[in-house]
Amino acid sequence: MNGGSRISWRDRYPDEVTCVRCLKVYDQVRLDRMLWCEDCRFRARERAARYGWFGGLAFGAACATYVWFAIRPTDLIVGAWTATLVTAVWIGQKVAREFIYGGMRFRNARAVDAVPPSLDHDIE
Ligand SMILES: [Zn+2]
């Protein structure tokens, strides 16, 4: 409940808004309601996709281990299982990617894509 106010979230912000991830200032229409700019959303998606492959491969490896030891495929159907595992990796990657992206959105870490003016010392 917010007091029944019907004001759009955009009305709370001025026209020029600072992206929380890269700290660049954009016109508010280019930011979503998490105050992420298009570039940052794109970067986050790419990063999620990259980590998603690790998740997918881990999932595929787990499936492969299960198939290998629990189902013990014969030579005849190993090809079919391989196709199934490739599919498992593919789907696992997609699911992992969504989870990772969702996690980034949830954490909504500030200024992670910002370029600090000085790199002399580490920033918290
Ligand atoms: Zn940004």
- When pLDDT is cut at 50, 70 and 90, the band that residue 38 belongs to is very high
Q: Give 85 Cα–ligand 1 centroid separation in angstroms.
A: 37
Q: Would residue 68 count as lying in a domain?
A: yes
Q: Give 41 Cα–ligand 1 centroid separation in angstroms.
A: 7
Q: Give 97 Cα–ligand 1 centroid separation in angstroms.
A: 20
Q: Give 108 Cα–ligand 1 centroid separation in angstroms.
A: 12
Count up the domains in the chain and report the number. Answer: 1
- Whole-prediction pTM value? 0.71
Give the tens place of pLDDT for each residue, 59-73.
999 999 999 899 888
Q: Would residue 86 count as lying in a domain?
A: yes
Q: Would residue 79 count as lying in a domain?
A: yes
Q: Would residue 26 count as lying in a domain?
A: no
Q: Give 35 Cα–ligand 1 centroid separation in angstroms.
A: 8
Q: Would residue 80 count as lying in a domain?
A: yes
Mean pLDDT of the chain: 86
Q: Give 103 Cα–ligand 1 centroid separation in angstroms.
A: 17
Answer with the residue of higher pLDDT: 89 or 120: 89
Q: Would residue 20 count as lying in a domain?
A: no
Q: Would residue 6 count as lying in a domain?
A: no
Domain coverage including residue 83: 38-107
Determine the average pLDDT of the residues in 34-54.
95
Q: Give 94 Cα–ligand 1 centroid separation in angstroms.
A: 24
Give the tens place of pLDDT for each residue, 71-104.
888 877 888 889 999 999 999 999 999 999 999 9
Q: Give 19 Cα–ligand 1 centroid separation in angstroms.
A: 5
Contacts of residue 47, defined as CB under 8 A and 6 or more positions apart, other chains included, come to 100, 104
Q: Give 59 Cα–ligand 1 centroid separation in angstroms.
A: 32
**Would you say residue 5 has pLDDT above 90?**
no
Q: Would residue 10 count as lying in a domain?
A: no
Which range has the worst mean pLDDT, 38-42, 61-65, 66-70, 114-118?
A: 114-118
State the burial class of residue 121 (Cβ atoms within 10 Å of its Cβ: 0-12, 13-18, 19+).
exposed
User: What is the per-residue pLDDT for 71?
Assistant: 86
